[in-house]
Amino acid sequence: MDYRRDIPLAITFLVGIIAVLDYYTTFESVTNTFTVIKNWGVVLQAFALGLGAVNLFRVHGKRVSERTREDWMFSGWLLLMLVLFVVVGLGTGQYDASTQYAWIYNALYMPLGATMYSSLAFYMAYGSYKVLRARNFEAALLFITAVLVIIGNTPIFPATFPVFFNIREWIFGPIVSGAYRGIRIGVGIGAVVLGIKTLVGLETGYLGRW
């Protein structure tokens, strides 16, 4: 018996079976057991969160103390911000509901998050230019469809020529929805089969045994 493989597989099977039974049955003992397991999961996640913070302090603290890397000051900034948010949140006693926490969140984090998301516009613009080339028949189909959808999505074109809106709706309807549903069915089946394989111990890649 390979205990390093068999014990984790047995635990996976046991917990998985309880989860499946909880979904399909209404036995109180199963529900109570699964609730306990879910609570253990919450506790594990809480400890893992601490692990993440420890990891950050170890890695970036080392960079600040050694100062051999060019970007060591950014590690210092990261640690400073980490401590600041925690101190402000816990210190006011109101966590993220405090006005002070809201202020530093809106002043520091919010603009950064919005900027990163907005930078997608630039990535997409360049990606569209580079990729949408009618090199062959399939690429030409993609090119024509993409151009029609972009025109339909640009507010000024449908407002001026409503036919573009109808074209876009037609592409989104039978074509895109149909293709999407096909892929979705495949993904759903694949996920179920992977779940069953994980449950019965056929899939062991997550244990480091591919």
The footprint of other proteins on residues 181-210 (CB under 8 A) is 181, 183-187, 189-195, 197-198, 202-203, 205-210
Answer whether 201's CB lies under 8 Å from 12's CB.
Answer: yes
- Regarding 7 and contact with other proteins (CB under 8 A), the answer is no
Q: How far is the CB of 159 from other proteins (least distance, A)?
A: 4
* DSSP 8-state secondary structure symbol assigned to residue 107: I
Q: Which is nearer to other proteins, 27 or 209 (CB)?
A: 209
Q: If binding means CB under 8 A, how many residues of this protein chain bind other proteins?
A: 86
Biggest CA–CA distance in the chain, Å, is 73
- The Cα–Cα gap between 185 and 33 comes to 32
Answer whether 57's CB lies under 8 Å from 79's CB.
Answer: yes
Selected binder of other proteins within 18, 21, 146, 167 (CB under 8 A): 146
Residues in region 81-110 near other proteins by CB under 8 A: 94, 96-97, 102, 105-106, 109-110
Q: How far is the CB of 167 from other proteins (least distance, A)?
A: 13
Selected binder of other proteins within 28, 116, 136, 137 (CB under 8 A): 116
Selected binder of other proteins within 10, 131, 141, 163 (CB under 8 A): 131
- Regarding 162 and contact with other proteins (CB under 8 A), the answer is yes
Q: What angle do CA 187, 190, 192 make, to 5 degrees?
A: 110
- Regarding 154 and contact with other proteins (CB under 8 A), the answer is yes
Determine the straight-line distance between the first and last CA of the chain, rounded to whole angstroms. Answer: 18
- Regarding 151 and contact with other proteins (CB under 8 A), the answer is yes
Closest by CA to 89, choosing from 102, 80, 76, is 102
- Regarding 121 and contact with other proteins (CB under 8 A), the answer is yes
- Regarding 177 and contact with other proteins (CB under 8 A), the answer is yes
Q: How far is the CB of 133 from other proteins (least distance, A)?
A: 5
Q: Which is nearer to other proteins, 19 or 21 (CB)?
A: 19
Closest by CA to 33, choosing from 6, 46, 12, 14, is 14
- The Cα–Cα gap between 70 and 50 comes to 28
- Regarding 172 and contact with other proteins (CB under 8 A), the answer is yes
- The Cα–Cα gap between 111 and 132 comes to 32
Residues in region 13-72 near other proteins by CB under 8 A: 41, 44-45, 48-49, 51-52, 55-56, 58-59
Q: Is 152 exposed, middle or buried (0-12, 13-18, 19+ CB in 10 A)?
A: buried
